Amino acid sequence: MITVKNGLYTITSGRTSYVMHIREGKYVENLHYGRRITPMHRANTDGLLDARDIMTDTDTEAALAEKYTNPYGNSVAAAGDNWCVTLDDMCLEMSNAATGDYRSLPLMLEGPDGCISTRFYIEDSLLYEGLYADSDKTGMPYAHISPDGGDKPWTLELIYRDHHTDGDDKGLELRVIYTAFEDCDVITKRMVLINDTGVTYTVRDISSMMLDLQGRDYSVMTFDGLWTRERHAHIKKLESGIYETGSTNGTSSNFHNPFVMLLKDGTTEKYGDCYGFNLIYSGNHRERMEVSEYGKTRVLTGINPFGFAYPLKPGERFYTPEAMLTYSPDGFNGVSHNCHRFITDHIIPPYFRGRKRPILINNWEATYFDFNRRKLIDLAGTAASLGIELFVLDDGWFGDRSDDSKALGDWYVNEKKLGGTLDSLVKEIKSKGLLFGIWVEPEMISQKSRLYETHPDWAVSVPGKEIYTGRNQMILDYTRKDVRDHIVDVICKLLGSADISYVKWDMNRPITDAYSKGGSLPGAFYHDYVLGLYDVMKRITGAYPHVLFEGCSAGGNRFDMGILSYMPQIWTSDDTDPSERMYIQGGTSYGYPQSVMGAHVSASPNHQTLRETSLETRFNVAAMGVLGYELDLTRLSLVDRKIISGQVEFYKKNRELLQNGSFTRVYNSDNNTIWQVTDDKKEHAVALLYKRYAEPNQSYDILYASDLIEDAVYRVRVRSIKVKVKTFGNLINQISPVYIKEDGVMQALIGKAYAMDGETEEYTVNGATLMYAGIRLAGRFIGTGLNEGTRVMGDYSSRLYSIDKIG
Ligand code: DGJ
């Protein structure tokens, strides 16, 4: 709910309040953003009056507003009668260049005379039920109304005008727009600059949102990395001055995700004040936090000003991407829950909300480029026999694409390699009971391609300058409409040529030279590229609304809410090593739900790290996302086949919970991690317990749970696993009647046909016990013997536990 009343603008959601008022007749001051302070209606049963009857808005304002009693020493006084006020020490909602607020600014605008001073003062406001009225005109995705109705969002537009003192000569209009999504305690903010003057301005820097908070006792949590190690969580203490993170590689990047959190000192996973910020945007972004000497903290998020100089001609508007803000008093998990709900209810395409995602087999790590029809059909046949539901044909099916040096842009089927038309292959795979999916990389062009021969000017490069490639490829100039039309046409034709249910949309190199030979100006290139991308994605996904698209950018180089607005899941990382995935999926889970994270079981040793891990752990970790397999299933041993069909069966049985349950990081020590997914009613949950390294002579682990009903009774059962004979090395000879040589033929033969059963454990406990005391699980193997109860937990080991309410 948003109210505009008695000089107060109040945005209230279930657990938060955002309060503003006007100061000196022109500035909008933030009085509070955090835990809900807006009085709730109270039934008058206890003789106490409803707070709303005895406390007025004026009282609230008087309490919250800063008093500015004394003049400052060496500071610039704000315009107005009260020279005790300085903008440098005010929690502002909008701030102007060259007015004495020397902190980082949300807007840097250059007039035709080169002057950067602005005087945007509040003039008016608009309040209405629903989303921002111009959402569709922005060219960017935006948060939508929840498909199940839910609470209707409200929107507040604060309207500012750049004031000139010389009479009629008016400046630009600026709107700061707030939309409240009460159901998930999220507010979105954005700015719109409207040039209704007669001259062209250049926008040098414009944030989507600025938030000034009281206090300086904050840390920031960021999610950083590189290819194959995306979004590892890092916490840094904010000190006086500026901390900045972001991306300049043309995408939201694997370097620094646009999702960041601001934590009050002392905040943990479960307790404490925590803010989350994100952008519905897939290009260069910047998140800046500034702690001022006056003891306030400013947060700015939005487009990165790197290489940005956007011309705004008379009659034009500049829309910033929509930014998300959320607050929770319940620590990091509280913010994560808000973000997860926001993404599932308001970001991913409504058709896919809660819709079950098929378990897939992707041929990439099974074959790389080296495949033919026989291999594909064999892989599909084995996958079908194991219960897998979707076959994905990855890179290498088109043009002359036998390696990564060529053919991007030539989106015609290599029928020689596929042994016939795509349609015939799809039919054959579908006859095995599988759906079919295909890989594309539509933003790219190889220099060795037919497309490049015909349209060299469609590749992004600067004339006269050496070309820089990444993975031997160049970027297609999506700032040009002719390029976009061509891509929409060829990809739509491809998708119409066979029964395709899924598309993996890859993007394997970042942008370097932001230069178009026929499209945007250099200062507009990065942003226009993203607008172009959204245009293409919107047209293609709009033409095939029921096809499941999975975003990918060399794994997780573009994991953001912009992509998720068109594609309900993203390939989280090319790194499928479960040990590394615990960091990657764990880091990603702070801002994104598990239903958007592609997670595959791959071969061991792992292709990215060469680490060896058990098939059980590879599954247990992948099960905490959208499950797939990405290994050569045709070469599986009997034992591995059995293990995988058991995994697939377990995942299908628990799919609703695993994909759409509420995800919580329950416990984290140096060595043990527990994650849990829980259904809405708190009747069913699955918990993952992951152990990084085996610990000698410390024999048991504790299973803690979260989000349960204290008084309800639950049955807790471990998912049964198989333990490979090989795990025991030559210790196996302690029980074997014949000598088994380690790594010998006999061990290999036994290992292929036989594995030992893991422990069985089952408990009946109430929710309170699970949450506050934890179950002390059976002792681990510590070298003193093995019996039915022993839990064999080596390095990178794990278990899944089903928690079901029985009373
Ligand atoms: C990068 C992706 O992340 C991989 O999964 C695979 O699709 C390759 N590209 C194919 O070139």
Reported as a single tens digit per residue, the pLDDT across 579-623 is 999 999 999 999 999 999 999 999 999 999 999 999 999 999 999
Three-state SS at 426: helix
Q: Does the annotation mark 499 as catalytic?
A: no
Question: Band of the pLDDT at 70, cuts 50, 70, 90?
Answer: very high
Q: Work out which ligand 1 atom sits closest to the CA atom of 554.
A: 3
pLDDT of residue 170: 80
Question: Band of the pLDDT at 419, cuts 50, 70, 90?
Answer: very high
Q: How far is the CA of 656 from the centre of ligand 1 (A)?
A: 28
pLDDT of residue 38: 84
Radius of gyration of the chain from its Cα atoms, rounded to whole angstroms: 29
Q: How far is the CA of 102 from the centre of ligand 1 (A)?
A: 46
pLDDT cut 90: percent of the chain above it: 88
Q: How far is the CA of 364 from the centre of ligand 1 (A)?
A: 7
Question: Ligand 1: which residue has its CA nearest to atom 9?
Answer: 554
E-assigned strand segments in 501-643: 502-505, 548-551, 569-571, 597-602, 626-630
Question: Ligand 1: which residue has its CA nearest to atom 2?
Answer: 554
Q: How far is the CA of 484 from the centre of ligand 1 (A)?
A: 22
Q: How far is the CA of 630 from the centre of ligand 1 (A)?
A: 11
The dihedral sign for the CA sequence 124, 126, 131, 136 = negative
pLDDT of residue 743: 81
Q: Tell me the average pLDDT across 641-651.
A: 97
Of the candidates 212, 506, 528, 632, the residue annotated as catalytic is 506
Mutate to test the pocket of ligand 1, among 229, 370, 504, 506 (most ligand atoms within 8 A of CB): 506
Q: How far is the CA of 395 from the centre of ligand 1 (A)?
A: 7
Residue 320 contacts residue 189 (beta carbons within 8 Å): no
Residue 678 contacts residue 646 (beta carbons within 8 Å): no
Mutate to test the pocket of ligand 1, among 394, 503, 572, 606 (most ligand atoms within 8 A of CB): 394
Question: Band of the pLDDT at 151, cuts 50, 70, 90?
Answer: confident
Q: How far is the CA of 506 from the centre of ligand 1 (A)?
A: 7
Q: How many residues does the chain have?
A: 807
Q: Work out which ligand 1 atom sits closest to the CA atom of 394.
A: 7
Q: How far is the CA of 633 from the centre of ligand 1 (A)?
A: 19
Quote the CA–CA distance of 441 and 710 in Å, as a whole number: 49
Question: Ligand 1: which residue has its CA nearest to atom 1?
Answer: 554
Quote the CA–CA distance of 438 and 549 in Å, as a whole number: 10
Question: Ligand 1: which residue has its CA nearest to atom 10?
Answer: 395
Question: Ligand 1: which residue has its CA nearest to atom 5?
Answer: 574
Helical packing angle, 638-653 and 745-753, nearest 10°: 30
Strand partners for 673? 668, 690
pLDDT of residue 685: 98
Q: How far is the CA of 528 from the centre of ligand 1 (A)?
A: 25
Q: Work out which ligand 1 atom sits closest to the CA atom of 471.
A: 11
pLDDT of 149 above 80: no
Q: Tell me the average pLDDT across 186-215.
A: 97
pLDDT of 50 above 80: no
pLDDT of residue 801: 98
Q: Work out which ligand 1 atom sits closest to the CA atom of 553.
A: 3
Q: How far is the CA of 396 from the centre of ligand 1 (A)?
A: 10
The dihedral sign for the CA sequence 619, 597, 585, 594 = negative
Q: Work out which ligand 1 atom sits closest to the CA atom of 555.
A: 3
pLDDT tens profile 246-269: 999 999 999 999 999 999 999 999
Q: Tell me the average pLDDT across 12-18.
A: 94
- Token pair recorded at residue 63: 């309490």
pLDDT of residue 167: 66
Mutate to test the pocket of ligand 1, among 371, 574, 597, 629 (most ligand atoms within 8 A of CB): 574
Q: What is the DSSP letter of 685?
A: E
Q: How far is the CA of 129 from the centre of ligand 1 (A)?
A: 43
Inter-CA distances, 77 with 95, 162, 265, 301, Å = 14, 19, 32, 27
pLDDT of 47 above 70: no
Q: Work out which ligand 1 atom sits closest to the CA atom of 439.
A: 7
Backbone phi, psi, residue 408, to 5°:
-65, 130
Mutate to test the pocket of ligand 1, among 229, 362, 404, 552 (most ligand atoms within 8 A of CB): 552
Q: Where are the alpha helices (DSSP H) in 456-505?
A: 481-496
Q: How far is the CA of 587 from the centre of ligand 1 (A)?
A: 21
Question: Ligand 1: which residue has its CA nearest to atom 11?
Answer: 395
pLDDT of residue 747: 82
pLDDT tens profile 171-192: 899 999 999 999 999 999 999 9
Q: Does the annotation mark 574 as catalytic?
A: yes
Average pLDDT of the chain, as a whole number? 95
Ligand 1: list residues with CB < 6 Å: 364, 394-395, 439, 506, 508, 552, 554-555, 571, 574
Mutate to test the pocket of ligand 1, among 368, 395, 405, 559 (most ligand atoms within 8 A of CB): 395
pLDDT of residue 51: 66
Of the candidates 330, 410, 574, 707, the residue annotated as catalytic is 574
Q: How far is the CA of 535 from the centre of ligand 1 (A)?
A: 23
pLDDT of 715 above 70: yes
Instruction: In the chain, count H helices and then E strands.
Output: 17, 40
Quote the CA–CA distance of 694 and 667 in Å, as a whole number: 18
E-assigned strand segments in 154-228: 154-162, 173-181, 186-194, 201-214, 218-226
pLDDT of residue 46: 65
Q: How far is the CA of 423 from the centre of ligand 1 (A)?
A: 23
Query: Which element (helix H / strand E) includes 586?
Result: helix 578-589
Torsion of CA 194, 199, 200, 204, to 10 degrees: -70
Quote the CA–CA distance of 543 and 558 in Å, as a whole number: 23
Residue 522 contacts residue 513 (beta carbons within 8 Å): no
Quote the CA–CA distance of 526 and 307 in Å, as a whole number: 8
Q: Work out which ligand 1 atom sits closest to the CA atom of 630.
A: 5
Q: Tell me the average pLDDT across 571-583.
A: 98
pLDDT tens profile 529-559: 999 999 999 999 999 999 999 999 999 999 9
pLDDT of 699 above 80: no
Residue 533 contacts residue 443 (beta carbons within 8 Å): yes
pLDDT tens profile 325-346: 999 999 999 999 999 999 999 9
Mutate to test the pocket of ligand 1, among 571, 572, 597 (most ligand atoms within 8 A of CB): 571
Q: Tell me the average pLDDT across 784-801.
A: 92
Torsion of CA 150, 154, 155, 156, to 10 degrees: -150
E-assigned strand segments in 648-696: 662-668, 672-678, 684-691
Q: Tell me the average pLDDT across 492-511.
A: 98
